[in-house]
Structure 1
Amino acid sequence: MTVSVVLFTSDLRLHDHPPLRAALDGAGEVVPLFVRDRAVDAAGFAAPNRLAFLADCLVDLDAGLRERGGRLVLRSGDLADEVAKVVSECGADAVHMAADHSAHARRREDRLRSVLESSGCRLVVHDGVGTVVAPGTVTPASSDHFAVFTPYHRHWTQQPMRTPLAAPRKVPVPEGVGSEPLPVREHLHGVSPGLAAGGEWQAREQLTAWLRGGLAEYEEGHDDLGGDRTSRLSPHLHFGTLSPVECVQRAVRKGGAGAEAFVRQLAWRDFHRQVLAARPAAARENYRTQHDRWRTPATAAARADIEAWKEGRTGYPVIDAAMRQLRHEGWMHNRGRLLTASFLTKTLYVDWRIGAEHFLSLLVDGDVANNQLNWQWMAGTGTDTRPNRILNPVTQAKRYDPDGVYTRRWVPELAGLDGPSVHEPWKLPGLERAAVGDYPDPIVELADGLERFKRARGRA
């Protein structure tokens, strides 16, 4: 009987899984395999929150496979070597996996193909598993990628979309292929206490509930910090417990302005992937340099500012609320991400890479393409270098958290203040100011931060 291996990476689901379907169609038995890649750990991407969410996903994937007569095989080590061992153990003649386009994924794929070819096993890579439109599918006439979202989005919407695949009814797995025990979230240390649960079952329940009750309000409410009306599906998209193609099609069937706004966000996700696929160095280097002389931890003043930002002790309540949400949940509202990134890079004039690294250390949806390129967008070094994109944390808080619901939720020192005063506690008279306890004064005046930024960029 022929055997194929399905190598799961960031596609931890059974619904709409082209590599799994192709493997089942082409072989009598299939080995569903996940490898805890040593290179991922070495690169610093194995943050506790993502490991905990991954543990949930693997347990759920194994349960789904067992319901279909199969099981998940788990190995740890060098990915190519571990896959080759499994191929040898089960006599597989093909390995199926989803395409990925990061620099690490390309190196991984090249090495895996080389190792497998030496043993006569084919590597079959499937596009369109983790994206709606794969990187490189649409390109402008003069470049290998789009650097501006609007024309990209126009082409993106015109691409044909495949029909999502149903989950298989049976997954026959050969006997005799050993597996390590599945990881358990509770055994991990340093996990955010409010971290959401992972897994495909959770993802599909969440998507269905949100399409029914949240999609219609998304266009108007997605920036409402206190209302928290975003989908919160980004961790599931990052780990692939949801298919982005299925998300788009189910949202489009609902229709309306909310669906259009939600689908546009999925297009942004693909946009960043095609940029990073074409310019992998943008994960660490400026896409378009502004010759910044960023502040770094090399000076005591900058170190103090960076630590205050990380700890949610800047004295600007909406910034501190967002940073505390990040630490508690391993997730942050998108408007909060923009505000905190603007504050670090434009008001404190700190290198965007410091902020991006901190986010990746905590975000459960910590995705290199979205995280790094959104940070560059906010820092003015990315595909759009607009110099006037500076978000005032006070005016933004009054606009997107007018009653202070979000701020008081995450900064309990200010829980007794009313809507307007919660955003500017330093303006309170003496006795009222004393009532907020040890909540700090602003670490920098906004006007001073703006002047420093303009001077550094040569526009003072």
Structure 2
Amino acid sequence: MPEVAKSSIHWFRKGLRLHDNPALLKAFENANEVRPIFILDPWFVKKGRVGINRWRFLIQTLRDLDTNLKELGSRLFVVRGNPLDELPKLFKEWKVDHLTFEVDTEPYAKERDEKIEELASELGVKVSKIVSHTLYDTQRTIAKNGGTAPTSYQRCLTVLSQLGPPAKPAPKLSAEHIKDCKTPIGSDHEEKYGVPSLAELEKKESDCGPSLFPGGETEALSRMEKYLKKTSWICKFEKPETEPNSLAPSTTVLSPLPEVWLRLSENILLES
């Protein structure tokens, strides 16, 4: 019999999506309770160099994520604070014994995650971290290249060809995945864990530019499907032929949708 977790947390960071999110699926695997969380660090709100349009994009994405979870009977818990302070509190308050998140490759995130793993170990919390932020496992790629990162495009292609195709996309989180577990949702959920507004972040909506490219997995999938249907255009696409100074985008404009569509679309294109 598989070991059953009493209470799991999935920590959303960059992969704010239900599609192809193996760490999210892992949190629901054999669990009784699962709380999907996003941690909003006030330090970044006040001191981070983040423009207001990017904050709006994040809020739109979090709202869409919460809506999609709500349709499955779950919710997103937006926690305010430093992860190193807040996660140990949540481990104790929610009696957590399993934490899942995607592997991050940035220096700051790697150092932070190592500290989180240490804190989790001290409190008896199992940690499952799974590669899904990148199409390939960066550590495997470096190891395959003799312990150093490939320094040219052609060398990178050679190493990746030796590794073989990337992993298939994980299935979308569905009602079937969560039928045997629940997300405890209190009557004060919106007050304590609701998605923030721009006003809460001390930002003004009037300072935003036009919302030409809304955030969220729903918008991302819609735009991705639109362009994947243009198979001839994809096969003939050449970056030098785009018009960077045109008033209307001459590319797919998929770049504003990081992590939501990337792995799924790349796997589809690799198969075509």
| Common fold: TM-score over 0.5 | yes
CA 1:153/1:180 → structure 2, altered by over 3 Å: closer, same or farther?
Answer: same
Distance 1:6 1:186 in 2: 27
1:135 matched residue in structure 2? 138
More helix by share: 1
Identity between Structure 1 and Structure 2 (%): 24
User: 1:162 aligns to what SS in structure 2?
Assistant: coil
2:67 matched residue in structure 1? 63
1:235 matched residue in structure 2? 256
Pairwise CA RMSD of aligned residues? Answer: 2.5
User: 2:8 aligns to what SS in structure 1?
Assistant: strand
2:109 matched residue in structure 1? 105
Residue 30 of structure 1 and its aligned partner are, at CA, apart by 0.9
CA 1:29/1:3 → structure 2, altered by over 3 Å: closer, same or farther?
Answer: same
2:9·2:35 contact (CA, 8 Å) conserved in 1?
yes
1:212 matched residue in structure 2? 229
5+ residue gaps, structure 1: 256-460
Supply the AA of the counterpart residue of 1:191: C
2:78·2:193 contact (CA, 8 Å) conserved in 1?
yes
Describe the superposition over 1:281-327 as per-residue Cα deviations: whole angstroms up to 9, x where unpaired: xxxxxxxxxxxxxxxxxxxxxxxxxxxxxxxxxxxxxxxxxxxxxxx
User: 2:263 aligns to what SS in structure 1?
Assistant: helix
1:95·1:123 contact (CA, 8 Å) conserved in 2?
yes
1:245 matched residue in structure 2? 263
CA 1:39/1:135 → structure 2, altered by over 3 Å: closer, same or farther?
Answer: farther
1:173 matched residue in structure 2? 183
5+ residue gaps, structure 2: none
Distance 1:106 1:38 in 2: 20
Describe the superposition over 1:69-121 as per-residue Cα deviations: whole angstroms up to 9, x where unpaired: 10000111111221222222221101000010111101210221122222111
Residue 194 of structure 1 and its aligned partner are, at CA, apart by 4.6
2:6·2:33 contact (CA, 8 Å) conserved in 1?
yes
Distance 1:146 1:252 in 2: 21
CA 1:2/1:222 → structure 2, altered by over 3 Å: closer, same or farther?
Answer: farther
Higher mean C-alpha displacement, 29-38 vs 203-212? 29-38
1:35·1:74 contact (CA, 8 Å) conserved in 2?
yes
Supply the AA of the counterpart residue of 1:210: Y
Q: In the alignment, does 2:218 pair up with 1:201? A: yes
2:40·2:78 contact (CA, 8 Å) conserved in 1?
yes
2:19·2:172 contact (CA, 8 Å) conserved in 1?
yes
1:218·1:229 contact (CA, 8 Å) conserved in 2?
no
Q: In the alignment, does 2:243 pair up with 1:224? A: yes
Q: TM-score, normalised by structure 2?
A: 0.82
Higher mean C-alpha displacement, 49-58 vs 81-90? 81-90
2:157 matched residue in structure 1? 153
Number of matched residues?
250
Distance 2:31 2:241 in 1: 45
Residue 9 of structure 1 and its aligned partner are, at CA, apart by 0.2
User: 1:136 aligns to what SS in structure 2?
Assistant: helix
Residue 252 of structure 1 and its aligned partner are, at CA, apart by 3.0
Q: In the alignment, does 2:167 pair up with 1:162? A: yes
1:90·1:174 contact (CA, 8 Å) conserved in 2?
no
1:447 matched residue in structure 2? none
Residue 156 of structure 1 and its aligned partner are, at CA, apart by 2.1
Distance 2:49 2:71 in 1: 31
1:389 matched residue in structure 2? none
CA 1:103/1:45 → structure 2, altered by over 3 Å: closer, same or farther?
Answer: farther
Distance 2:21 2:146 in 1: 34
2:22 matched residue in structure 1? 18
2:195 to 182, 194, 197: 182
Distance 2:37 2:73 in 1: 15
Describe the superposition over 1:156-208 as per-residue Cα deviations: whole angstroms up to 9, x where unpaired: 24433222122222343124495332123587334333552000000000000
Supply the AA of the counterpart residue of 1:174: P
1:6·1:23 contact (CA, 8 Å) conserved in 2?
yes
2:75·2:185 contact (CA, 8 Å) conserved in 1?
no
1:35·1:75 contact (CA, 8 Å) conserved in 2?
yes
Describe the superposition over 1:245-278 as per-residue Cα deviations: whole angstroms up to 9, x where unpaired: 211122234x3xxxxxxxxxxxxxxxxxxxxxxx
Distance 1:202 1:30 in 2: 26
2:37 to 33, 37, 42: 33
Residue 210 of structure 1 and its aligned partner are, at CA, apart by 1.1
- Higher relative contact order at CA 8 Å, sep ≥6: structure 1 or structure 2? 2
1:53·1:197 contact (CA, 8 Å) conserved in 2?
yes
Supply the AA of the counterpart residue of 2:172: A
Return the index of the structure with the highest Cα Rg.
1
2:76·2:193 contact (CA, 8 Å) conserved in 1?
no
Distance 1:25 1:124 in 2: 11
Distance 1:53 1:157 in 2: 36
